[in-house]
Amino acid sequence: ELVLKVRIQSPNLRENDFIEIELDRQELTYKELLRVSCHELGVNPEHVQKIRKLPNTMLRKDKDVARLQDFQELELVLTVSDKNLLFRVPTLSEQSGYNKKASELTY
């Protein structure tokens, strides 16, 4: 797996931390990067204008994605100005790493 750090580009967000995503090295395509990033960040892929490799390089095609190294930092640049309309807050059970059985354990 290739591990990348991804966030949404926005100076207006109070917390703009990166999250880590994993991509299968056999499926290193722009489309797969966009799909996984949007799913993990809760963003509609139709609202992504471009993906930027920080500090200043735009990713455009599969070859660009294939050259990425572990822990490189990427930003999704969104097309609409009202970013509040883009986000879907995932429920606790949809969040990565949530374990329903573990949440039911009592001590």
Its pTM stands at 0.72
On whether the CB atoms of residues 48 and 34 are closer than 8 A, the answer is yes
Per the structure block, which two tokens stand in for 96?
A: 């990565």
Count of CB atoms within 10 A of residue 29's CB? 14
Model pLDDT, residue 86: 47
Model pLDDT, residue 91: 47
pLDDT in tens, the chain (107 residues): 999 999 998 767 677 889 999 999 999 999 999 999 999 999 999 999 999 999 999 999 999 999 999 999 999 999 875 445 445 545 444 455 555 444 455 54
Q: Assess if CATH 3.10.20.10 describes domain 2-78.
A: yes
d(CA 106, CA 17) in angstroms, rounded, equals: 32
* Identity at 26, one-letter amino acid code: Q
C-alpha radius of gyration, the chain, whole number: 15
Residue matched to tokens 């990713």? 59
Model pLDDT, residue 85: 46
